[in-house]
Chain A
Amino acid sequence: MTPPSDDRLLLDVRGLTVRFPTPDGVVQAVSDVSFHLSRGETLGVVGESGSGKSVSNLAIMGLLNRNRTAIAGEVLFRGRDLLTLPPDDLRKIRGKEIAMVFQDPFACLHPMYRVGQQIAEAVTAHEHVKKDRAWARAEELLDHVGIPNAKSRARDYPHQFSGGMRQRAMIAMALVHNPAILICDEPTTALDVTVQAQILELIEEVKREFDIGVILVTHDLGVVAETANSVMVMYAGRIMEYGAAGGIFTQPQHPYTWGLLDSMPSVDRRLEALVPIEGAPPSLLNPPSGCPFHPRCPYRFEPCATERPPLDVPAPEAHLDACWLSWDDKVRLGVERAKKVAA
């Protein structure tokens, strides 16, 4: 997908590559990942654990230890490459223009400071205001994200909050400076199912209200189906398929995406109808040659093990994927798959 050139474009990531040198070898966490994000867009990033989806976002935020990681590529935000920005300039963007909500709200709030204080601190990190002004802003934001009795709850400590409330507090913290981009790294994974929907709804509301771009990282395709405009499927640190959400869900093109969809439980599907993806995700210390998915792919043929398929658009009506199957095969197999699921 070529990025739109209009002024709604927020983030343009090109060839992002992240390597962790370890005593056992180099972990190839993220390889050649390119995507973009516009205002009002929710980009769903999907993949199994260890597919590089969280690491990509930490790299964008500059939250990886620069001494112990090798990062290549470009992350263009408002014309500036975040990867080459001096640490202090990046710090000024972090939390102000790009904010992040993490997976585990139980561990992400400091246990020894009041919730209001932690949000107020996010205010003073980028703005010289009096403490009581910052505190008032914290109360206002807690109220905004739906914490009842926000004024008194702001004085609570995180352990007095429920999981859903903590995640709301994290979102409030992220919204302090009306950021342009909100990165949500598995925001609902640690929460009860009933609370999950509320948090997703809150993120959607926030997106519409402030006209921001949202990156929603998850391993739950159901979450993506509900909220995303575009979807990027990642596997072993690489993009497998990337396109508009409608296309990904109505006509998925990559065998890995098929696998993800077929293993996803839903109300109208019986447990026996779920088809797990055989095998386990590969080690990123020593990823498979060729297509990283080929050892687990039921449709592999001779080029898959030796040559890496490029990320390409296989037909005019299709979206990006990285697979050697011909377009006709993809259509045929996709139709068969759809029939099997319907049966």
Chain B
Amino acid sequence: MIFYIARRLVWTIVVVLCVIGITYVVFFKLPAGNPALRFAGKSPTQQELAQIEHRLGLDRPWYIQFGKFAYHFFAGDQYGWPGLGYTYASGSSVKSLIFQRAPRTLELIAGAAVLWLFTGVAIGVISAVRRRTVADRVAMGFALFGISTPVFWLGLMMLYIFWRRLGWAGGAGYVSPATSFTQFFSHMILPWITLAMLYAAFYARMTRNNLLETLGEDYIRTARAKGLTERRVILKHGLRASLTPIVTMFGMDIALLVGGAVITESVFNIQGLGYLAINSALTQDLPIVAGVVLLAAVAVALMNLIVDILYAFLDPRVRYA
């Protein structure tokens, strides 16, 4: 078990290193033009440019630059850990910008994830157990709706109905839970539901299919032959075996969203990471984009690690593989 975790850990570090390398090449080597020009303001002198290049380390060979980039990421720079450099536009640290926006995105993801995990799995179980009944058809109809509805449309409809017409929820914008928790909740509930809808639909379908497949297994017949109640057969024996692929998908989905639930954030004007990345890309403020990308990639690698470790707990066969 320890060997298994250690092996996964080493691989995660390798992946993060690769991600840093690719990010560096894509954002700092491939773009045409001298990055120093972006820091320098309008019509700089040759001397000013050289000064900026020296400050950014652009006068050093590429491997030294990369080394510093990677070193700052792991060990931090003058703004603290992780060192992500400074923005072109204002010269402030990318880290502080990201840390300022990240809680909004994380709160959005966390709320939506709880919502979609529970509703999705619950709907999937009901659908599988009541297969080919009205409940099943309604649930799968909902799933089809959730999967095929564009998020921006759904978000706008939510706002129109529950904020504008009914006044049940707060409108667009973000209120920090530190300021007012009720206001925070009121403003977040619609984005949570909007973001969760698509995923809940996927999870419902996946749970249904996995569970139906599992319920055809011989060990389910054994569980019934023991005289267990049907509830126990399904929730303990059936769901347990159907859960592993769902855990994998859950980890990956959360990690991918860290890069930003761009559309949801835009519709509800929650200025989170996705919003930050898009705006920075439009103004070509590459260090910020690189910072968000790096963060998202590391999140994916870390979630992968967590999922792998969870797997070993969920499925004893993995532990000995």
Interface SS majority for chain A: helix
Interface 9-mer from A95-103, A195-203, A272-280, A300-308: A95-103
Interface SS majority for chain B: helix
| Contact with A109, one of B219, B230, B314, B320 (Cβ below 8 angstroms) | B219
Contacts of A142 in B (CB 8 A): none
| Contact with A170, one of B222, B228, B317 (Cβ below 8 angstroms) | B222
Q: Are B240 and A61 in contact (CB under 8 A)?
A: no
Q: Are B218 and A111 in contact (CB under 8 A)?
A: no
Task: Across the interface, name the chain A residue whose C-beta is closest to B238.
Answer: A110
Task: Across the interface, name the chain B residue whose C-beta is closest to A92.
Answer: B227
Q: Are A110 and B223 in contact (CB under 8 A)?
A: yes
Shortest distance from the beta carbon of B179 to any chain A beta carbon, whole Å: 45
Task: Across the interface, name the chain A residue whose C-beta is closest to B221.
Answer: A63
Q: Are B218 and A94 in contact (CB under 8 A)?
A: no
Q: Are B218 and A107 in contact (CB under 8 A)?
A: yes
Report the separation of the CA atoms of residues A22 and B221 in the bound assembly, to the nearest whole angstrom. 21
**B213 interface residue (CB < 8 Å to A):** no
Report the separation of the CA atoms of residues A94 and B229 in the bound assembly, to the nearest whole angstrom. 11
Q: Are B226 and A107 in contact (CB under 8 A)?
A: no
Q: Are A91 and B218 in contact (CB under 8 A)?
A: no
Shortest distance from the beta carbon of A100 to any chain B beta carbon, whole Å: 5
Task: Across the interface, name the chain A residue whose C-beta is closest to B132.
Answer: A67
Contacts of A173 in B (CB 8 A): 222, 226
* B288-321, CB < 8 A from A: 314-317, 320
**B59 interface residue (CB < 8 Å to A):** no
**A104 interface residue (CB < 8 Å to B):** yes
A–B pairs, 10, beta carbons within 8 Å: A63-B224, A91-B227, A93-B227, A94-B227, A100-B225, A104-B218, A108-B219, A108-B221, A111-B315, A157-B317
Contacts of A63 in B (CB 8 A): 221, 224-225
Listed from nearest, the 5 A-B pairs whose CB atoms lie closest are: A95-B227, A107-B218, A95-B226, A94-B227, A157-B316
Contacts of B48 in A (CB 8 A): none
**A121 interface residue (CB < 8 Å to B):** yes
Report the separation of the CA atoms of residues A9 and B227 in the bound assembly, to the nearest whole angstrom. 23
**B252 interface residue (CB < 8 Å to A):** no
**A26 interface residue (CB < 8 Å to B):** no
Task: Across the interface, name the chain B residue whose C-beta is closest to A87.
Answer: B230
Contacts of A112 in B (CB 8 A): 240-241, 314-316
Contacts of B317 in A (CB 8 A): 111, 157, 159
Q: Are A122 and B226 in contact (CB under 8 A)?
A: yes
Shortest distance from the beta carbon of B110 to any chain A beta carbon, whole Å: 28
* B61-120, CB < 8 A from A: none
Q: Are A94 and B217 in contact (CB under 8 A)?
A: no
Contacts of B217 in A (CB 8 A): 107
Contacts of A88 in B (CB 8 A): 229
Shortest distance from the beta carbon of A75 to any chain B beta carbon, whole Å: 16
**B237 interface residue (CB < 8 Å to A):** yes
Contacts of A102 in B (CB 8 A): 218, 221-222, 225
Interface of A with B (CB < 8 Å)?
A: 61, 63, 87-88, 91-96, 99-100, 102, 104, 107-113, 118, 121-122, 125-126, 157, 159-160, 170, 173
Q: Are B224 and A94 in contact (CB under 8 A)?
A: yes
Contacts of A94 in B (CB 8 A): 224-227
Q: Are A91 and B229 in contact (CB under 8 A)?
A: yes
Q: Are B219 and A125 in contact (CB under 8 A)?
A: no
Shortest distance from the beta carbon of A82 to any chain B beta carbon, whole Å: 13
Report the separation of the CA atoms of residues A299 and B301 in the bound assembly, to the nearest whole angstrom. 72
* Interface hub of B217, B219, B232, B240 (most chain A Cβ within 10 A): B219
Report the separation of the CA atoms of residues A126 and B218 in the bound assembly, to the nearest whole angstrom. 21
Report the separation of the CA atoms of residues A102 and B218 in the bound assembly, to the nearest whole angstrom. 9
Contacts of B224 in A (CB 8 A): 63, 94
Q: Are A125 and B226 in contact (CB under 8 A)?
A: yes
Shortest distance from the beta carbon of A160 to any chain B beta carbon, whole Å: 8
Shortest distance from the beta carbon of A211 to any chain B beta carbon, whole Å: 21
| Contact with B225, one of A95, A104, A107, A110 (Cβ below 8 angstroms) | A95
Shortest distance from the beta carbon of A192 to any chain B beta carbon, whole Å: 19
Report the separation of the CA atoms of residues A102 and B315 in the bound assembly, to the nearest whole angstrom. 23
Contacts of A100 in B (CB 8 A): 225
Q: Are A111 and B222 in contact (CB under 8 A)?
A: no
Report the separation of the CA atoms of residues A125 and B225 in the bound assembly, to the nearest whole angstrom. 11
